[in-house]
Amino acid sequence: MEIRLGARRLRAISGLCLTFDEEVKNLQRPYLPINEQQYHRLYASGSDFFQIINGPLSGKVVTYGNADGGYVLMPVCQKRAEVLLAAA
C-alpha cells in the first residue's frame, strides 16, 4: 500500500512496534513534521512502519507519532530498519 503525504510517498511495510521503551531506543532525529490529517491517514492504514520511496530520504524507514508538540514521522535507526525490511 502506498500513501501520499504531500510530495512525500510512503510504502507500508510489515512489522509491529515493540514496547514503547524498546521502540523509542530505535528512533532517530530529526523528526519530520506532518499534519493531523496526514497522521490520521497513516493511523487508518493499520501499519506501524513505512518506507519513504521518493525524494532525498528515499529508502528511509519511519514510524509516526506525536512529539515535540505535533505530529511527526520518526525515522528508525539503520539496524531496526534492516530487520523490518528483511521481514517485509
Average pLDDT over residues 44-57: 95
Stated length of the chain: 88
Domain limits, the chain:
2-87
**One-letter amino acid for residue 61 of the chain:** V
43 pLDDT above the threshold of 80: yes
Beta bridge partners of 62: 50, 75
State the CB neighbour count (10 A cutoff) for residue 30. Answer: 9
**One-letter amino acid for residue 48 of the chain:** D
Percent of the chain scoring above 70 in pLDDT? 100
pTM summary value: 0.92
